[in-house]
Structure 1
């Protein structure tokens, strides 16, 4: 990067935030948990996501060369949110401009720290920067649509031998404001990072956002979950995956059950079990009480596709409280298949 281009970068206008060392409680941003911002597939996805839920609209567009940011790539954003809030807890200043070592990031999201993992970080940052989001979420008093990427810019500092010694990136203002507003953040279980399946990871975030600590949990129509996920899989295949997850019960802190209505529609009942998370401060809930059911009248055109991966692995009517969300629909376009890139092995359980 030349001196002139560096002066034009956002980093020249922002004070850097030095990443914290040691254990940092993981926390996630509510908007990212509630809406289909990421691909759930391990292979490259170029098809866009078009989603509407009440007054909320979002579109996610990918560059074909790199593919859409995946739910594994989103670990970088979870780590950034966790770092910002931990710094605030300690009375330290924060910034959208991050400085960190690859080891800090990999260790924070429970990944191995071998050479391949460092390489995969760069792939994740590339997809996060090249993915474009247009959304009306957090529109305020007047309707508006904002457009941004998950990372505005990033850079690495490497030796002549290729060893990466430091990295920098800049978060968009939309995401940063959604993090520093603590009402828009939830603590998550550290075991989330051990979930290897894309649908499992997405389903945990949905559970954490909607079911929270409510004794009765939350119910979704299975077809509504399909639309809410933004998945390119056919509904029948998606339903098979959800049923398999309900049999395995892999979600930390939550139990899933498949129920049938009188009309033979399938519902997914998500309820909290035992203790959700050991992090501090206390976990916030989604603000609802009692059992809720989300339904959907869907208009869906779906296609099979593939997506490049960073990491390894893989009631008949809606309640009033979920009425707006139940209006959701998902539209996507056709995309081609590409070979997948698997990530490093999952971390060992040490807790």
Structure 2
């Protein structure tokens, strides 16, 4: 007689159970949040200014337009500096701290409204738009795919204060027609000014008036061919600042193809206040989840260290079909 204990075999999991387990695993590692109830975005795409300050391969889409953390406000006078091949970009915090990449959502909303108004004007259906926009706060929240609650209204007010105080300084070497290089320095705030209308008995803001920067207005309205890109609305659902930075960079540089950057360069362009090791670890989490809008992420070995490969998903699907 055997002394081995008897065990009851586990029942085989059904296909539905396995599918649910895989779905749960995917949810745990996802870098995207769920959209709010009654989400209005659908298949809309959002205009995004490309090369709004300089007409070359470097713009605010190549770097983070502000801090990547929601919890580290960067006190007044603190700066992010990005060294480029022909100059630098410097972002400085104001009295209320430095704007974050989430605060920048309000700038995207303003750009989108302005682009639509400019299209209507060019079609002869409306007057030339001004630099002042007056959205309801509820409209801002819907556009940015955020829930409608008291905390979100407070976040909008805080974001406006940081945006109006955060300035961008750009110094570049610009070639003239005669081949000489002229050093150009330009500085501007992310938004010029704002006003808020609030219910006096509740203190809850209901409407915002924003004056968009001249540099953005001229690029969208005055240029014969406005330099704008479109952004997938799922961008607003990306939970991490680094993930948002990577999407913006991929949209700007990969477009409908592929672009590559070393982990070291990405760290330097991101404005991250952490160290390279932690930054690399988060990049690999993004690669594992591989759920950013539009772009597939992969890692390869480079001469000077790991390299991030960003590929437009439609191209990936096409190549897969060709292989089949």
TM-score, normalising length: structure 1:
0.67
* Contact 2:173/2:183 (8 A) holds in 1: no
Counterpart for residue 211 of structure 2: 170
Number of residue pairs aligned between Structure 1 and Structure 2: 251
Counterpart for residue 144 of structure 1: 184
Asked if 1:28 is matched to 2:48, the reply is yes
Structure 1: gaps spanning 5 or more residues: 1-21, 277-351
Counterpart for residue 278 of structure 2: 237
Counterparts of 2:116 and 2:96, CA distance in 1: 32
Query: Which of 129, 137, 159 is the matching residue for 1:124?
Result: 159
CA positional deviation for 1:37: 2.4
Query: Which of 49, 68, 83 is the matching residue for 2:113?
Result: 83
CA positional deviation for 1:275: 8.3
Counterparts of 2:99 and 2:173, CA distance in 1: 21
Aligned to 2:61, the other structure's residue is in SS state helix
* Contact 1:139/1:145 (8 A) holds in 2: no
Counterpart for residue 70 of structure 1: 100
CA positional deviation for 1:151: 1.5
Counting only pairs closer than 5 Å after superposition, residues 290-329 of structure 1 correspond to structure 2 as none
Q: Give the direction of change, closer, same or farther, for the CA distance of 1:114–1:203 in structure 2 (3 Å limit).
A: same
CA positional deviation for 1:167: 1.4
Question: What's the RMSD between the two structures over aligned residues?
Answer: 2.2
Counterpart for residue 11 of structure 2: none
* Contact 1:257/1:268 (8 A) holds in 2: yes
Query: Which of 260, 269, 274 is the matching residue for 2:309?
Result: 269
Counterpart for residue 96 of structure 1: 131
Counterpart for residue 184 of structure 1: 227
Q: Deviations over 1:310-348 (max 9, x none)?
A: xxxxxxxxxxxxxxxxxxxxxxxxxxxxxxxxxxxxxxx
Q: Give the direction of change, closer, same or farther, for the CA distance of 1:183–1:167 in structure 2 (3 Å limit).
A: closer
Structure 2: gaps spanning 5 or more residues: 1-39, 51-58, 177-181, 317-324
Larger radius of gyration: 2
* Contact 1:148/1:172 (8 A) holds in 2: yes
Query: Which of 86, 91, 94 is the matching residue for 1:60?
Result: 91
Q: Deviations over 1:30-82 (max 9, x none)?
A: 2331223211112212331112212242111113x522110001100111111
CA positional deviation for 1:173: 0.8
* Contact 1:36/1:51 (8 A) holds in 2: no
Indicate the structure with greater strand content: 2
Counterparts of 1:55 and 1:213, CA distance in 2: 26
- Identify which range, 33-42 or 246-255, moves more after superposition: 33-42
Aligned to 1:135, the other structure's residue is in SS state strand
Counterparts of 1:138 and 1:251, CA distance in 2: 34
Counterparts of 2:168 and 2:118, CA distance in 1: 27
Q: 1 or 2 for the larger relative contact order (CA 8 Å, sep ≥6)?
A: 1
Counterpart for residue 248 of structure 2: 205
TM-score, normalising length: structure 2:
0.72
Counterparts of 2:297 and 2:275, CA distance in 1: 21
